[in-house]
Amino acid sequence: MAVSVVVSAPAAARGQQPTLDPQRAVALVVTYADGRRAPLIVGTTTGGATTSTFPREPSWTPPANQLSVDAIKFECLRTAEGVRVAISVFRGSQRQQDEPIKTMLVTPAQSVTVDAELRAVGVQPVTLSVMSIVVPELRAPEVTVPSPQVEVAGIRVTTTPFSGYVITLRNRSTKAVRSIEIAPMLGGRLGQSTRRAGREGQALIVPGATYQIIWQLSVGLSASGGVAPISLDQMLITTVRWADGTYEGDAATAAYDDVFDKGTKAQLAAVVAALERAQVAGQAATPAGLRDVLSGLAVTASNAMVEEARAIAGSLSPAQIMRAIELALQQVKTNVLADLAEFESGRNPLGVFQGWINTEHDRYQRWLERLSSQQRPNLAAHDAGAHWTSAVTDHPCRFVRDRGVKG
């Protein structure tokens, strides 16, 4: 049987699981075949996560011409009864294919085990359950910034609809902030960092303006088996990148972002060229034809691309350079293909394909021009520490984050 349903005692009878509060986030607890339990946050409407950490079927091998599973994705939708969960898997190291597995309803009174469908793709079964999140009294963490030109204007704790912090930064410089890197710290250990950047190469914080970091806390299992948010000791703004190409903070992060932007520019140029050819084709251009062209865009970094990027990569290894470029190539490609899919769905208000091509070309051309105008002027000066103003640089970030295409 593909999905087995394990029905437990009703929540009221157990006396442990209260009725789910529709105004607060809940937790979807994923129990893997090796016994590990991982709670995922589901907000008042949606939530979910993607993970590459899961037990695999040891004797399973993919059929010929089929990519192996790299990650599992859980997409969640809140309902009056509980959480509707859609499980899918990503195939390929660059997650080229997203394959649906199963959709089911999970309630506080009824957990669900997904078995046969996952085993069929080489993944051991998972069991899903829904729990309320118990929110203890939270305290605001210390926030540090590597630039005196960026002020922490305020910080507050929030518990509805999720537990976390709202941190307000103010740009006191005459230059625009292009992006920042944020890293949480708990128990003296630096967590995975996150990049915040202006959309499509635009400024994140213009001079004199403020920007709010809305940081949702992760949740963990307590000793009693409940789910509670994990508060932080510190929030480190590890890097501030400016619109003129300079930066303050962690050199490795700034270099990674420069390489990522270089890959983004390369793919943007390819997208612009494809759209220009479609413009020239006129009425002969079709959505299907353009989709074929865009689907063929490269997402693998060539040796020449990696070698060229070394000039701006500082101390990054070739593997880190390649990872940054390939993430950028893949994400721009994903972005433009999603744009085309939206047009084909009929929701695009332009309605006429050539009009959409022209608008899309101008958009991607402007994005490319913004990134091209933002060049780091002197890498050697930065690597020597000329613009470092904080001990935050003593905590280099790990290069394991997946970035969006907003930068």
Is there a single domain that holds both residue 151 and residue 87? no
Helix (H) or strand (E) holding 265: helix 251-281
Please tell me the predicted confidence (pLDDT) of residue 404: 35
From 233, 250, 265, select the one nearest 180 (Cα to Cα): 250
Is position 405 within any domain?
no
Between the two ends of the chain, the Cα-to-Cα distance in Å is: 46
* Region for 28 from its dihedrals, namely left if φ exceeds 0, alpha if ψ lies in -120 to 50, beta otherwise: beta
d(CA 324, CA 262): 9
pTM: 0.73
277 with 336, same domain? yes
In a domain, 118, yes or no: yes
215 and 163 share a domain? yes
Q: Is residue 401 part of a domain?
A: no
Tell me: the pLDDT tens digits for 130-154?
Answer: 999 988 888 999 999 999 999 999 9
Give the end of a domain, one of 132, 151, 185. Answer: 132
Are residue 105 and residue 231 in the same domain, yes or no?
Answer: no
Q: Is residue 407 part of a domain?
A: no
Domain limits at 32? 3-132
C-alpha triplet 58, 327, 123: angle, nearest 5°: 15
When the pLDDT of each residue in the chain is averaged and rounded to a whole number, the result is 86
Half-sphere exposure of 258 (CA within 13 A, CB side): 32
Q: What is the pLDDT of residue 376?
A: 59
Structure tokens at 384: 């020597």
| pLDDT tens, residue by residue, 281-300 | 998 999 999 999 999 999 99
177 and 233 belong to one structural domain: yes
pLDDT at residue 19 in the model:
74
Per-residue pLDDT of the chain (407 residues; tens, 9 = 90+): 333 333 333 333 344 445 788 999 999 999 999 999 999 999 999 999 999 999 999 988 888 888 899 999 999 999 999 999 999 999 988 787 899 999 999 999 999 999 999 999 999 999 999 999 988 888 999 999 999 999 999 999 998 899 999 999 999 999 999 999 999 999 889 998 999 999 999 999 999 999 999 999 999 988 777 899 989 999 999 999 999 989 999 999 999 999 999 999 999 999 999 999 999 999 899 999 999 999 999 999 999 999 999 999 999 999 999 999 999 999 999 999 999 999 988 866 556 899 999 999 999 999 999 999 876 554 433 333 333 222 222 222 222 333 333 33
Distance CA 194, CA 284 (A): 43
Q: What is the CATH number of the domain that holds 206?
A: 2.60.40
